[in-house]
A and B are shown apart, each in its own frame.
Chain A
Amino acid sequence: MTKAATPSRHSGIVAAVRGVRAAWRQSLQLRVVSTTLLFSVMVVGLLGALLLARVSAGVVDAKERASVTEGEAGHAEAQGILDAADTGATTPSATQLVDAVATSLAGRAGNSGLYEVLLLSTGPRTGAEAPERGTNLVAESSVPNDLRQQVVAERRIAWTYTELRYLDGRVVPGLAVGSTLSVPGVGLYELYQLFPLTQEQATLDLVRRVLGVIALLLIVGLVALAWLVTRQVVTPVRQAAQTADRLSSGHLQERMTVRGEDDLARLARSFNAMAAGLQEQIRRLESLSRFQQRFVSDVSHELRTPLTTIRMAADVLYEDRDTFDAATSRTAELLQTQLDRFEALLTDLLEISRFDAGAVALDVEPIDLRLLCRRAIEAAQPLADKRSTEIVFEEPESPCVAEADPRRVERIVRNLLVNAIEHGQSRPVTISMAASEHAAAIVVRDHGVGLRPGDASLVFNRFWRADPSRARTLGGTGLGLAISLEDAHLHGGWLEAWGVAGDGSQFRLTLPRIAGTELTSSPVPLEPADGSTRVPLPTRTAPRPSSVPAEPSAQDDAAHAGVAEPVGESRA
């Protein structure tokens, strides 16, 4: 299809999507496992995120408090140093003061690098008059501008998270606590204590890693669990499905294995009980059917042998009837004609019994339906001549080949033709055919008495007559159309009838062109093209015989063309 036509990447994707969708629809296990995967990822993710948030909040809060406290303490100490210096008679130089503060704070921070210190002048910086200090090469850019503005504007201790930048290029996450100092003789200074969060970062990283591993293990565990659990349930179910498949394909011995006492074991036991019941039923039916087939076959043989003798004897008498007296001669004639009738009836009865006993087999081969129709027309010609009916064959130019049983299909067509001739009131009978890719149809149309409303569904019934009060006129057995319908069904085909009283009828036989395929439509409509152009009759309001499977004109015996010659039979 499209895939073959355009073997592009696009179609590859489409095929893959289709495959996944098919797998999704077909595998309960896949659905359960993927659902479990999805939900466990969501839940574990959510829990992990919450946990991580709590842990980092805890860790960072503690650090915050400690840092701010330390910041306040540092600020107090620095301001203390400055205040102390201010009270003296001699005011030390700004450089001395700033160095003293920086040294002192650096001492508080210790060598462990608890925090870094930055002393920045807020006022105009004029070289030695307002020296700035920092510890351990920490860069001024470590302090965000926002914080500086806040500290200067509000003159109080403020803090924020930042990144500590060192002049040697290192960058670590950290926390900046800022405050202002007034340095005598110089003016306003800003003091920043920068606390690196290296330790906390490491802790959180560890927690994150651990959480990740746990989450992964949890998800894998849950998915594996789901897989195992569904497997326990799905495996017996699949086995049941498989067993049912094999049962339905005729392996009646097939059973499920029963293990344990649980629900699944009960399922298996019930299943097996059902299978045993079915097997028993089928066996009974089979033996019944065999018996019936055997019986039909025997009856057939037992009846036919003496009938053959009678038939031949009657024929010899009939041939010599001229030499008999009038009464005996007429007797020989009656014997002959009624034997014909009896024989046709017996043949049809035996044929339909074979259908009932299921003793029929389809013998398909590819056949050109045109040849087959020609043969059927040839067979029906004597009757047509007798009834002064013209048979018009609208023969297509090209072969119309279908896989079918030629004898059966020919018998159907012959029955339809005979039926049409018998009820066609000597008007022409048309036979035509059409084919589509999957189906072939043969249509027989007559313009005779037609079908009364409602009769369309009855014409295929055995021994059905449209008008029971009317006597059987021609030699129909009343089984011809019933046999034809059985033959059509045997092919997986349709035999349908359309008819309007006074407007004739049309029969359509539709056959699959490949044996065994299912019919979905017929290449020709059931209702003839000329069907609706006819003068409306009073009965016309009545339903057009719906496309009930097979129904021909409802003539009394009419329907019974009675030509159902046994399929194996050939008459020279």
Chain B
Amino acid sequence: MTWVEVPSGLVSGQELTRPADRLVRVITMKARIDGTMTTVKGRVLVVDDDVALAEMLGIVLRAEGFEAIHCADGAKAIAVFRDSRPDLVLLDLMLPGRDGIDVCRAIRAESGVPIVMLTAKNDTIDVVVGLESGADDYVVKPFKPKELIARVRARLRHNEEAGPQNLAIGDLTIDVAGHTVKRDGQPISLTPLEFDLLVALARKPWQVFTRDVLLADVWGYRHAADTRLVNVHVQRLRSKIEKDPENPLIVITVRGVGYKAGPP
């Protein structure tokens, strides 16, 4: 397994392919890790200015079979993201160079890749701003390695639940296998998380989902977690699929309980 640290001057993908232009540090892992290294579970881009934490994250991620790429500078994060095409981004919200929120928006603007925020702040405003800028989930420092890995796994897991492959919710049609949502034949672009959220609601249109149930079904939280995740993502989803997000017809709020699908 390799721990790849990207030097700050690196911008293009071509350079990445030339070993001389990159700083590659091979960290010798314990035998236990090496034994499991045959398959890579996914590539994770860590954007964090704290080198010690980033390295520690790399160790832990690699121990779990992920490939870790590090970028310490927010200004370069997008370039590294484009070059490395990660399966998931771990993003610190406080970054030098470019604010984590901006990075998050920039990544979200061009990709639906899962983004998990690392934040030292858990004030509502910070968390909500982070989620609204496009993050799928967040972990608050200090977190335990298992907690982080659980979040990463949950976001990378593809929930191929058995069920009808074509669903209807409101005036939308969903092709579950093709991961597409259409209104009147026009595709609507959703992130995988938003897609999962919509599918979860559409599969059981008769059911009112509490936020806790959605946290379990969509985010994979086995214990009660932060319901703001649901609130913010429902808002984001509505802004994409509702004709009038102020008067939603597809994802309907059931006051005091949760959400349900609108009638097809």
Q: Is the CB of B57 within 8 A of A312?
A: yes
Q: Do B256 and A568 have beta carbons less than 8 Å apart?
A: no
Stretch binding the partner chain, chosen from B65-73, B124-132, B234-242: B124-132
Chain A 298-332, CB within 8 Å of chain B: the 1/0 string?
Answer: 00110011111111110110001000000000000
A363 to B232, CA, bound (A): 13
Q: How many residues of A contact B (CB 8 A)?
A: 42
* Cα separation A379 to B221 with both chains bound (whole Å): 13
Nearest A residue to B123 via CB reads: A568
- Are A569 and B221 neighbours in the complex by a CB distance under 8 Å? no
Query: Are A363 and B228 CB-contacts (below 8 A) given A568-B140, A571-B147, A571-B223?
Result: yes
Once A312-B56, A313-B56 are accepted as A-B contacts, the answer to whether A371 and B141 lie under 8 Å apart by CB is no
CB distance B150 to A572 under 8 Å? yes
Check A131 for interface membership: any CB of B closer than 8 A. no
On whether the beta carbons of B212 and A309 are closer than 8 Å, the reply is no
**Distance of A399 Cα from B138 Cα, bound (Å):** 30
**Would A569 and B122 count as touching, CB distance under 8 A?**
yes
Main SS of the interface on chain A? helix
Pair A401/B256 contact, Cβ less than 8 Å: yes
B-chain residues with CB within 8 Å of residue A571 when the two chains form the complex: 143-144, 147, 223, 225
- Known contacts A363-B228, A568-B123: does B142 contact A304 (CB below 8 Å)? yes
Contact bitstring A387-420, B, C-beta under 8 A = 1, else 0: 0000000000001010000110010000000000
Interface centre among B63, B220, B227, B257 (most CB of A within 10 A): B227
Contact with A along B97-140 (1 / 0, CB 8 A): 00000000000000000000011111111110000000000101
Task: Name the A residues within 8 Å of B251 (CB-CB).
Answer: none
The answer to whether A566 has its CB under 8 Å from any CB of chain B is yes
Residues of A near B144 (CB, < 8 A) are 311-312, 315, 571
Task: Verify if A378 is at the interface (C-beta below 8 Å from B).
Answer: yes
With a cutoff of 8 Å between Cβ atoms, the chain B residues found around residue A368 in the complex are 256-257
Contacting residues, chain B, for A567 (C-beta < 8 A) = 122-124
- Expressed in whole angstroms, the minimum distance between the Cβ of A5 and any Cβ of chain B is 29
- Collect the chain A residues with CB atoms within 8 Å of residue B220's CB: 572
Residues of A within 8 A of B125 (CB): 361
Q: A305-B141, A309-B52, A570-B226 are in contact. Are A316 and B122 (CB under 8 A)?
A: no
Which residues from chain A contact B126 at a C-beta distance below 8 Å?
568
State whether the Cβ of A297 lies closer than 8 Å to any Cβ in chain B.
Answer: yes
Q: Does B21 contact A (CB under 8 A)?
A: no
Q: How many positions in chain B have a CB within 8 Å of any CB in the partner chain?
A: 49
**In the complex, A291 Cα to B36 Cα: how many Å?**
50
Shortest CB distance A444–B (Å): 18
Q: Which of B124, B145, B229, B256 contacts A315 (CB 8 A)?
A: B145
B16 within 8 A of A: no
Q: Which residues of A contact B222 (CB under 8 A)?
A: 572
**Which residues of the other chain, A, contact B256 by a CB distance below 8 angstroms?**
366-368, 399, 401
Report how far A566 CA is from B119 CA in the complex, Å: 12
Q: Point out the residues of chain B lying under 8 angstroms from A313, CB to CB.
A: 56
Q: Please give me the residue from chain B that is nearest to A305 by CB atom.
A: B50
Nearest-Cβ distance from residue A330 to partner chain B, whole angstroms: 20
Q: How far is the CA of A231 from the CA of B143 in the complex (A)?
A: 68
Instruction: Tell me the complex Cα distance, A168–B91, Å.
Output: 118
Is B47 close to A, CB under 8 A?
Answer: no
Q: Is B146 on the interface with A (CB-CB < 8 A)?
A: yes
Q: Are A375 and B224 in contact (CB under 8 A)?
A: yes
A residues near B (Cβ < 8 Å) are: 297, 300-301, 304-313, 315-316, 320, 343, 354, 359-361, 363, 365-368, 371, 375, 378-379, 399, 401, 406-407, 410, 566-572
> Contact residues of B with A, CB < 8 Å?
30, 50, 52-53, 56-57, 59-60, 63, 94, 118-127, 138, 140-148, 150-151, 154, 210, 212, 220-229, 231, 255-257
Q: What 5 A-B pairs come out closest when comparing CB atoms?
A: A568-B122, A304-B141, A375-B224, A301-B120, A570-B225
Additional 11 contacts, C-beta under 8 A, given A315-B144, A571-B143? A297-B123, A301-B120, A316-B60, A316-B145, A320-B30, A343-B142, A368-B256, A368-B257, A407-B228, A566-B122, A568-B121
